[in-house]
Amino acid sequence: MRPSKVIYDRAYSAIAEADVSDFDFDEIFKDTTWFHFSGITPALSNKAAVLTEEALKAAKRHGVTVSVDLNYRKNLWTPEKAQKVMTNLMQYVDVCIGNEEDAELTLGFKPGNTDVTTGELELEGYKNIFKQMVEKFNFKYVISSLRESYSASDNGWSACIYDGNEFYHSKKYDIRIVDRVGGGYSFASGFIYGLISGKDFKDALEFGVAASALKHTIHGDFNMVSVDEVENLLQGDASGRVQR
């Protein structure tokens, strides 16, 4: 019943104070295929917002695929400020990751019935909001993790994706939570890994969901599992038997 609580102490940190001139983006993006950023970074300061856009411009000059995890954080900025900054940045984005609350507070989209706090999913609401997002920003993929909160300790965990034509909902895992912090980043990184390694978007989504489900069993922010462990879960091995 006790929720996780995050305290942000980012004022005057290196990234909040960084200047565009501190980075050689043309060198950074040389031979690069993918750039991922979070909505937390431009929320840290006006300088960080400018820096984020310059990085995105350089990424697109070099033909780099850009993804974003919207990650609205009420302790960092208001919905009004978030929408002003993030709506502008979406012109550079190919893959957008975020739940229905992120889409509303960060980009101003009004979701339908997408409330997962009851432990039930209404996928039509996600289809509707995903279509709105693709129509406005021409994203290649829109993705959301789906957390069904049965209690603070037990959740249903899945995800959905829309590619402009097809809507797909992944397998659901019923998970007993050790630590949920970092679950979203594990999902995003797993999905990105899946695409980069040659999986189609459905299999990449399944990989991201499985990787993140395993992360929920680990203390701390970082996902310490291997690719083989994720693949084993994808093949149906959730026994938890000791591997010798």
Tell me: pLDDT of 111 over 50: yes
Torsion sign over Cα 155, 158, 160, 161? positive
Helix (H, G, I), strand (E, B) or coil at 168: strand
Residue 244 binned pLDDT confidence (cut-offs 50, 70, 90): very low
Structural domains for the chain: 14-234 (3.40.1190.20)
Q: Residue type at 167? A: F
Examine the pLDDT at 230 and tell me if it is beyond 50. Answer: yes
Residue 141's pLDDT is: 98
Asked if the model's pLDDT at residue 243 lies above 60, the reply is no
Q: What is the pTM of this model?
A: 0.89
- Mean pLDDT computed over 5-23: 90
Q: How many angstroms separate the CA atoms of 227 and 178, rounded?
A: 20
Nearest to 103 by CA among 162, 49, 47, 48: 162
DSSP reduced 3-state for 170: coil
Residue carrying the six token digits 């509303």:
104
Tell how far CA 106 is from the center of its chain. Answer: 13
Determine the residue type at 103.
Answer: A
Q: Which of 218, 96, 74 is nearest to 145 (CA)?
A: 96
Are residues 63 and 92 in contact, defined by beta-carbon separation less than 8 angstroms? Answer: no
How many residues in the chain? Answer: 244
- Cβ count within 10 A of residue 221: 12
The pLDDT tens digits of the residues spanning 163-197 come to 999 999 999 999 998 988 888 899 999 999 999 99
What is the Cα–Cα distance from 208 to 189, expressed in whole angstroms?
Answer: 7
pLDDT of residue 225: 93
The residue-averaged pLDDT of 30-48 equals 97
* Type and span of the H or E element at 141: strand 141-149
Please name the residue ranges forming H helices in 90-239: 100-107, 123-137, 183-196, 201-215, 227-234
Interval 131-144 mean pLDDT: 97
Q: Which amino acid is at 22?
A: D
Least confident segment among 88-92, 162-166, 188-192, 221-225:
221-225
- What CA–CA distance (Å, rounded) separates 150 from 175? 10
Q: 115: closest CA among 132, 129, 97, 96? A: 129
Q: CB–CB of 73/44 below 8 Å?
A: no
Residue 236: per-residue pLDDT: 86
Average per-residue pLDDT for the chain: 91
- Locate tokens 């310059």: which residue? 54
| Burial zone of 79 (CB within 10 Å; 0-12 exposed, 13-18 middle, 19+ buried) | middle
Q: How far apart are CA 194 and CA 120, in angstroms?
A: 28
For residue range 117-137, what is the model confidence (pLDDT) as tens digits?
554 568 888 999 999 999 999
